[in-house]
Amino acid sequence: MSSAGYRVQNPASGEIVETFDTASQADVDTALDRAHTAYQSWREMPIEERGKIVKRVAELFTERKDELAQIIADEMGKPLPEGVEEAEYCTDIFNYFADNGPTLAADQEIPTFSEGKAYVERRPIGVLLGIMPWNFPYYQVARFAAPNFMLGNTIILKHAEICPRSAQAIQQIMDDAGVPAGVYNNLFASHDQIAEIIADPRVQGVSLTGSERAGSVVGALAGKHLKKAVLELGGSDPYVILDTDDVKEAAKTAWETRMYNTGQACNSNKRMIVMDDIYDEFVSELTSLAEGMRPGGPGDDYETTYTPLSSKEAADRLDAQVQQAVKDGATLRAGGTRGDGAYYAPTVITDVTSDMEAYREELFGPVAVVYKVSSDEEALTLANDTDFGLGGAVFSKDKARAEKIAQQLDVGMSNVNTPAGEGAEVPFGGVKRSGFGRELGPLGMDEFVNKRMYYVAD
């Protein structure tokens, strides 16, 4: 954790606006006690009754969307329209699980050749720890909390150090929606306290969205203490364009996808793989789009301006990666410059080769890396030549051609003719160094659950 601890830090200037106390040992003990005690009654409440409370949580996210958007604009620089959209997406997620949870968690009878009946029951397992990142402060929590509320699990939530106000806003929504005391517990925990919580026998699982480094540490702790873990880590998603009737529009879609949340999304299209006959025009258009953007604030027209990254440290780290790529021989087509505070100019890079660090790294910010290929086979090989495996997309006028490649991507989420198939009902997660486990959709209720076999003899 940063030595600055929990704080609101203006990403444009770096000024620390407000600080928050890290949890005391008494706070940790209280959270564990409350979560465990609440579990005893929460799990016994009929799932339909839990669903009514979850529906109210959903309503409050939309009712407070403008306030919520302003909070994360102040904390991590998210454009206001994107913040509103994120809050509304949380409503969709809580509604989906409230509406579909009873069906998704229903007992499943298994055909048996013996004299009796066998079932798989989906039952809660207990207290869960969630460790959430700053890039989507509400959405990340919603996709973890919603299915587990419906299952009857209880939650201790450790949010990112730069998102204390949004963490408190979520807790307020839970309280105001009627989530019983102890079912959801926001905790400004330290790294040492996180290790203590994972070790506690009352805690039965941990979900982390974050970096590979954080995932490795948390995964090791979960394994040491025999706890279930779900890890959603980094990504370097391939975005393959085989052909198009409108290169300008294809570049615009690719650029808008890359710039969403100022490029700070795990499943962003960080590697654009473009067929050689449209490559030059595509790169030219992408470069023009990048050069046409100007620094601005969260309330400005986010289609023509860009906001700062989450922190000066994040901008420094991205700049070092870009400068190293250029030093290694990559071509800088646009951007590549630091601005004030945490601003980083939208950047386009080409001619990255497999011997460069940039070929393997995740570039978490407004940087488009474009590769040229001359065959479908070369595109597929390049797309899969990465340690990550979160998502990927393939575009072609010939859907069958795109599908042939998309079906061979080594990723958790593969898409044809769209940057990403998204929705509360669509599972999210990856393979390889992008982590394991799934959130959202039917699979979101199949992680932290006791799939108990129940057999009744005749």
Pick the CATH number of 7-233+433-457 from 3.40.605.10, 3.40.50.2300, 3.40.50.300, 3.40.1210.10: 3.40.605.10
Q: How many helices (H) and strands (E) does the chain have?
A: 14, 20
How far apart, in Å, are the Cα atoms of 161 and each of 2, 22, 49, 122, 144? Answer: 8, 9, 34, 34, 18
409 within 8 A of 381, measured Cβ to Cβ: no
Tell me, what's the pLDDT at 113?
85
Place of tokens 């929990």: 6
Looking at the domain 238-423, which fold is it? Answer: Aldehyde Dehydrogenase; Chain A, domain 2 (3.40.309)
Tell me, what's the pLDDT at 143?
97
User: Residues 339, 341, 345, 351: is their CA dihedral positive or negative?
Assistant: positive
Catalytic residue numbers, as ranges: 232, 266
For the chain, give every domain's residue range.
7-233+433-457, 238-423
Tell me, what's the pLDDT at 114?
84
* Low-confidence residues of the chain: pLDDT under 50: 1-2
What are the DSSP E strand ranges found in 339-416? 347-350, 367-373, 391-395, 413-416
Report how far apart the first and last C-alpha atoms of the chain are (Å, whole number). Answer: 57
Confidence (pTM): 0.96
CA distance 392 to 377: 16
